[in-house]
Structure 1
């Protein structure tokens, strides 16, 4: 099992344990509400849905053991050229939740750039402690909206010379309410409402290593997005749609938008750090705009986020990263600048639940190892008590193999050469009764005989018809012995059915 598979398995197990505990202890109030362990021992799951023209783009990610992971991005297409309606958004999130198997994931909604208003204002530093109240009171002066009809959030970008520089992101609540009602009707109330532009700024801060002033640009055939961040804080943003397909005019428009952002680098006294995500048609961006850039490639995105957002960095990825990435803080328009009341979420129940989760994870790791060790010990014991039997069986196998070898040698010997007894028996059967032998010599596959016969010539056809002999011939003239009244003969023949050996002396000789 790889490290990645092990991590995924632990994340799934911890999530199931946590949500099972929530269902059992739902009546205890504080248990399901605190988030001390969420993202550490309890997986934090998030679905971020971005409204785009013609589609809803949904990104899914988790945070477990403080490690963020982007699981995937899906797009659901609707009527081209228009933003999807409330029911379209709800159906897309439901489909994504089922597809990613993330029914218990928090929902984050990312609204389009044209719906929001960005203002950078300066306020006296003395209002810092009550900044939320001051912004709410002055909102109708700083923006076209009053606090009751607006959804907004703000962030301090700098503090110097007794003044605060504050960026305000606001939108008309009436625009988002139909979408929120459609989601609430399906029990999917968004935890946060953010924007693609500020999410783009969060991505810019991460890609720019978060510790310096960085400018991030995304340019394609439809338009451009740009934002300036410092130490991960969104400072300024700009975006727009191109009026035509003339790339020279489009780049001139982008160059004009970059002027105030580049000026910020000059104020800081640092060289511009420009990160660019572009479509293939704008490969000459650096030459046309006149500033050095670092192109963000698909490999860069996969290395940092583990996924490829496809046609741009804007969309749901920024809102998702703001939720699960450690050290990031995005905008939440639903909060109206109010932060959750600071409190100590650690209660005795927190320690008990943390201990139970830690114990469950330890058992999950240790118990399988102990079971395998016990199984291995049982196998070793069985092997130990059978060692004597195994040795006896091995000795018998060796003895049987030796006997089998001897039998094979004897069989080969018997089949490769005739036995003298068989030769003598055949001669006794074939030769006439008035024939007697004085000498019999067997040499390999050859038989030589000497003796007396009433008629030596009568012997040849009898021997030729034998199944054991062939090529029967006299090797010396036949002599008539008057004293014995018989023919003295010397005869030679070959044995039938045996291959001739290349070497070897006489096998045996019998004299009579």
Structure 2
């Protein structure tokens, strides 16, 4: 970061030329006004309902030395009074900064002439707070001298409570103005006095009369690195320029027109956006985590299946072979059970049929037997065959014909069904003992 001072009749053109000569690719500018050009004062608002901005705008006419109709302004709520009896109960206090419209227009024309887009218009001394680690729960008086003027900043709980511009010539006068500022801020004293700007290396001894330690501000590490670059005098104005350039985010008491303000999220909006982002992330996690967990479980199952798949194939092959052998065995058993055995049948027919009977054809099938032949008396064959334990329903399949000396017959008989096993009759039930009976 570099600092320089432009003094010319055409400051806009000179600023643009200086930026080009230093090869600084600046496109935007933060404008810092001198404290004496802006009215900054705390005002009290009644404790009634309503929009705070409208209430401040309504009260401006009584507090500004110029017309408030078109005056750019901004305000900052002040912390509640911690000391009893220092103000009416229930009132609200705000710190208002307002400037004449002509002052803001001159600053905007300067930025436009330098081909820069203004992002903020603030009091330069107010931006000093961006360079320090302000302590909490303390009241600090900051004296910054730039040329013949000294800017007084009253900081409470790291927040600006009041600012004034006073002559810097007489140290006693500066102390008197500090005491007056303490009264305006309703402070009974302060915890520390910081001195910066021109002559900060040797602060006036009169500041010790305030009863607080006097020293340099607690610059941040980044601020110390940037302040170390400043070697030329006067340091006061350069430190103010560095403070304005170091500001980030939403600047308090910003007088830039609303149409030119960059869109930035306020702290409540940032918290809301963060909560929304967390909600979206949780919803996505709720949707994705079960899928990821199921995917991992499925991958584990697939790996386990792949590991045991060869064994499963071998078991299936063994089961298939066993099933085929079982079916083959069942087929063999079925064939053996339902097969026709001709030899026993022929033996029995040989024993049953008389000697004068001759068979020319013997047909056996699963339903029965058919006999074709000749006999002296074919009708005598029916009862003989009926007495066979293998045959039943013996009858002539066709009429008997008479030959020369024999009768030709065609007999059909069915296989006798196997008798069903008889159920063994149950014995008589044992007599039930009567109560009180005595067994011998």
TM score, norm. by length of structure 2:
0.49
Of Structure 1 and Structure 2, the greater strand share is in: 1
Larger radius of gyration: 2
TM score, norm. by length of structure 1:
0.43
